[in-house]
Structure 1
Amino acid sequence: MNGILLAVPALLPIVGGTAILASGYGAEDERTYRHLEFVVEGLVLLNSLLVALLIAGRSGMENGLVLFKLYGNLTVRFKLDRMGSVFAGLVAFLWPLATLYSFEYMRHEKRRASFFAYYLMTYGVTIGIAFSGNLVTMYLFYELLTLVTFPLVLHPMTKEAMRASRKYLYYSIGGAAFAFIGLIFVLKYSATGTTEFVPGGVLSLTAAEGDRGTLLFVYILAFFGFGVKAAVFPCHGWLPMATVAPTPVTALLHAVAVVKSGAFAILRFTYYSYGTEFLRGSAAQWVVMAAAMVTIIFGSTMAVREIHWKRRLAYSTISNLSYILLGASMMSPLGLAAALSHMVFHAFMKICSFFCAGAVMHQTGKTYVYEVDGLAKKMPLTFGCLTVASLSLMGIPLFAGFISKWNIAEAAFACGSLTLAGGSRMGILPYLGTAVILYSALMTGVYMLTVLVRAYFPKAAAATAVKEEPYTDPNWMMMVPLLIFAAAVLVFGLYSGPLMELLTVIGGEAG
């Protein structure tokens, strides 16, 4: 298989989206909108099929592809390793279903052509992050991700959307500056003279030892830089505000494209650029581990207080993204496998939750938690899917969320009992991670069950009022993705063995 194919899944959606914008395609009437649906879904399905074929034939593409050279050893390079395959496969599976859902959700919105153009380009940029063969390439696509998602947050063109998009842009630019500092130092101290992603990292430990303190400080800067998109406290402020965007956008921001790209970038930077041997037992490890715990507590607590449904789910995302970072901060093979498992499972749980909220908003116009009383009888399939996603987010056994949370807790105990090179132990902080997970699970139960209890068991007056309303579940274009996401949460909860075997191999290679 020709290595040039590695560039196609990243470039095809970008070219397709650019062509839609350049054509001036309006899609303001139903006929042209149907044409747009056909074109966009066709490109998305074609791209996902190509990603699947590349993952299946990955063994023949070890050398990757250098698309072009920037300067000296700085190249834009694509390479598909096991970790990239996991992220790319996740994106390729979710995007066609999310696009199908979006067609119905956006049917009565304005500027639909430009919306789907940027939606399509975001797919390509996210695949570019997954396929990146070095830190330079990942950074370029990471920056491009800000540019193509900014118009999506701005899409409603309201004052709230303008404020939210500006805040998103300011945070992202600041984070990119910190991440760029990390890139420079990796290049300076690289044992290979490049920023290639290598399991175990590329830092020359001999050369770096004299500047260890500086490099550890730079790692913390880069962690928070990439952590802006992963909504690490205190860099989280943009995420709840971004819920003003249409639900198909917020769902992908929270489940796949932006926040997962931030978490994925931190995993790459930690395990494939710096390397855990250099970081393990250092002050930098304590700082990032503590930051993840603080974010988990903050996000889950704020979600309980929030009464706007989508913003409540946004704070839930803030909390759950740092589960991934908590696993990564263990700096161990088990920690990386646990982090990747939550990255995958949370994507299904959260996109299902957001799309359920979006379905309710689309069908009823209700946006606040106190407005859902009695809706479960009117929209049984929607709330059935929400129940599955909610129980999984809480970490109830037999659902996917339990598996990943268990893995993170197991990694925390293993980290706490680890003996370092000097004979010292890691101490109590990793054990506190388990307590944080339990606290967050309790808070998750509160903020998710509040919605379900209101929907299934309304007060008499509310039940009577909603009984007269003509609310129903949405049509098949929105329900099919919801049912598939809910089914995936159940399947992973009951049968996650093959995936965990793969993630364990990835952890063993890089940790």
Structure 2
Amino acid sequence: MSRMLLAVPALLPIVGGVVLLIMNHFKGNAVFRYRGLALFVEGITLVNSLVIGWLIVHKAGTGEQMVLFKLYGDLRVMFSLDGLGSVFAGLIAFLWPLAVLYSFEYMRNEERQTVFFAYYLMTYGVTVGIAFAGNLVTLYLFYELLTLVTFPLVLHPMTKAAVRASRKYLYYAIGGAAFAFIGIIFVLNFSTTGNTQFVPGGIMDAVAGQTRRGTLLFVYVLAFFGFGVKAALFPCHGWLPDATVAPTPVTALLHAVAVVKSGAFAVMRLTYYSFGTALLRGSFAQYIVMGAAMVTVVYGSTMAVKEIHWKRRLAYSTISNLSYILLGTAMMSPLGLIAAMSHMVFHAFMKICSFFCAGAVMHQSGKTYVYELDGMARKMPVTFACLTIASISLAGIPPFAGFISKWNIAQSAFDCGRILSGAGNGGYWLPYAGACVLLYSALMTAVYMFTVLVRAYFPKEGTVPGGDVRDPNWMMLVPLLIFAGVIICFGFHSVPLMKILWAIGGKAG
């Protein structure tokens, strides 16, 4: 019976969202008073997060599995919770209730509120399904479902820009899924277990790895880019800046945890738990994916400096920072996985805080461009104090959390260079180039984040905005303050978390 609980965090929000859609279809949006809708959604979200927390404490790493149903033969849709899944699930469980609370105020005067929160709730369940996936088939199933439940959220404004952005997102996601599916087929055919279940160190057959290594490496690159579409890997990134037309609660979760982190998480699974680093390390496949990640880091941070639309600037920042995670993953070592996991966690708090600050300014003042922010810090001091903390951390300035994860990635780059050099591999210089890319990106991050702060705190004389502009109410401020506080806490006291990540990375790398 206790095993059945492994399915609850994925299925409960999905069922709750479906109930909302059914009631809305038959009785119309007016059937829900906004307060009742908010209590229903927040109630399910909080219960689900508590269940996830209980499962992480009592079930993580026990090896327990729950088979939801069988597709064919050994192809099973199953849930399990290991170390890596616990990190992702814990991150989701912490962020989602706060994001929902923020959304209630942001969406108060919007249309189609019931439909919005139905898909918002279902996205929670689908994302948890990715974290709890016990094999590659289950991960792929929920990965595809994630596209279906987030597509209506991007489309929600129903403007021409939203229609174009949602179509673009759909095309990219479907194309990426096709490449990822190729990887699943090869993992299934050449695995030692006869299925796609996740095993630390990978499941690829050693004989196949020697006789058909070139083919397997090529397929890995295809699958890396396939899953990398949701992680906005260049040149598959184009959907992400356009998706900022969605309401800020959507874009924040797209960029902080739901979609882009699911793509990065899937790449970690593919690399460390399916193909395995023993097969990949020192190969052309490693160099290709490492090079792609570095190109994306440089491209994203450079484009962010040029962008004047605030949310699109943050979108390009996400493109850059997600490839930090992919870069750490591409080091294909225990330290690389640890670095990738640490940035996955820290970036989530930094980016959701940044987006929610931008959303608060847009909600209160209607300002969407960087050049419109002169003097806004005087009108919204709490919002911009939180943005300042997130900006400093994103730039990687100690002692904030962003410095720790970037330091870990740089260390993993030097460690990878030493490993490749010791093996006599001529590509040992590439990880060192990755460390240089991190320095460049840190500089660009400081430029595109601090220019916003300089305008907000030090406007030209006579440019302080007029009107009744102030910080939003507690439903929007509380999440901001909590996120800022977590960023500071992780910066000063990250040792407990890093010990957990070391225990996970040491087994899988």
Q: What range describes the TM-score normalised by the shorter chain of this pair?
A: over 0.9
Deviations 1:161-211 (A, max 9, x none): 000000000000000000000000000000110100000000001123211
Contact 2:231 2:263 in 1 (8 A): yes
TM-score normalised by structure 2 residue count: 0.98
Structure 2 runs not aligned, ≥5 long: none
SS across alignment from 2:459: coil
Contact 1:417 1:426 in 2 (8 A): no
- The residue aligned with 1:102 is 103
Give the partner amino acid of 1:8.
V
Aligned pairs for 1:86-165 (under 5 A) are 86-165=87-166
Aligned pairs for 1:229-378 (under 5 A) are 229-378=230-379
1:417: Cα distance to partner? Answer: 1.0
- The residue aligned with 2:208 is 207
- The residue aligned with 1:487 is 485
Residue 494 of structure 2 is aligned with which of 475, 488, 496? Answer: 496
- The residue aligned with 2:21 is 21
Contact 1:417 1:425 in 2 (8 A): no
Give the partner amino acid of 2:508.
A
1:396: Cα distance to partner? Answer: 0.4
Are 2:152 and 1:174 aligned? no
1:421: Cα distance to partner? Answer: 8.1
SS across alignment from 2:462: helix
Q: Return the alpha-carbon distance in structure 2 between the equivalents of residues 59 and 108 of structure 1.
A: 41
Q: Return the alpha-carbon distance in structure 1 between the equivalents of residues 350 and 28 of structure 2.
A: 32
Are 2:42 and 1:44 aligned? no
Aligned residue-pair number: 508
Q: Return the alpha-carbon distance in structure 1 between the equivalents of residues 61 and 262 of structure 2.
A: 26
SS across alignment from 1:199: coil
Deviations 1:126-185 (A, max 9, x none): 000000000000000000000000000000000000000000000000000000000000
1:461: Cα distance to partner? Answer: 2.1
1:10: Cα distance to partner? Answer: 0.1
Contact 2:301 2:320 in 1 (8 A): yes
Aligned pairs for 1:463-478 (under 5 A) are 463=464, 466=465, 468-478=466-476
Q: Return the alpha-carbon distance in structure 2 between the equivalents of residues 61 and 206 of structure 1.
A: 30
Residue 505 of structure 1 is aligned with which of 482, 498, 503? Answer: 503
Deviations 1:241-299 (A, max 9, x none): 00000000000000000000000000000000000000000000000000000000000
Q: Return the alpha-carbon distance in structure 2 between the equivalents of residues 249 and 233 of structure 1.
A: 22
RMSD: 1.3
Give the partner amino acid of 1:241.
D
Contact 2:365 2:469 in 1 (8 A): yes
Q: Which runs of 4+ in 1 moved over 2 A?
A: 25-31, 419-426
Aligned pairs for 1:379-390 (under 5 A) are 379-390=380-391
1:232: Cα distance to partner? Answer: 0.1
Q: Return the alpha-carbon distance in structure 2 between the equivalents of residues 50 and 28 of structure 1.
A: 30
- The residue aligned with 2:441 is 440
Structure 1 runs not aligned, ≥5 long: none
1:423: Cα distance to partner? Answer: 3.7
Q: Return the alpha-carbon distance in structure 1 between the equivalents of residues 209 and 60 of structure 2.
A: 33
Distance 1:220 1:485, change over 3 A: same
SS across alignment from 1:65: strand
Distance 1:214 1:421, change over 3 A: farther
Are 2:193 and 1:192 aligned? yes
1:29: Cα distance to partner? Answer: 6.1
- The residue aligned with 1:456 is 457
Distance 1:506 1:37, change over 3 A: same
- The residue aligned with 2:7 is 7
Deviations 1:417-447 (A, max 9, x none): 1147854364211001111000000000110
1:108: Cα distance to partner? Answer: 0.4
SS across alignment from 2:71: strand
Distance 1:477 1:27, change over 3 A: farther
Q: Return the alpha-carbon distance in structure 2 between the equivalents of residues 23 and 228 of structure 1.
A: 34
Q: Return the alpha-carbon distance in structure 2 between the equivalents of residues 231 and 392 of structure 1.
A: 21
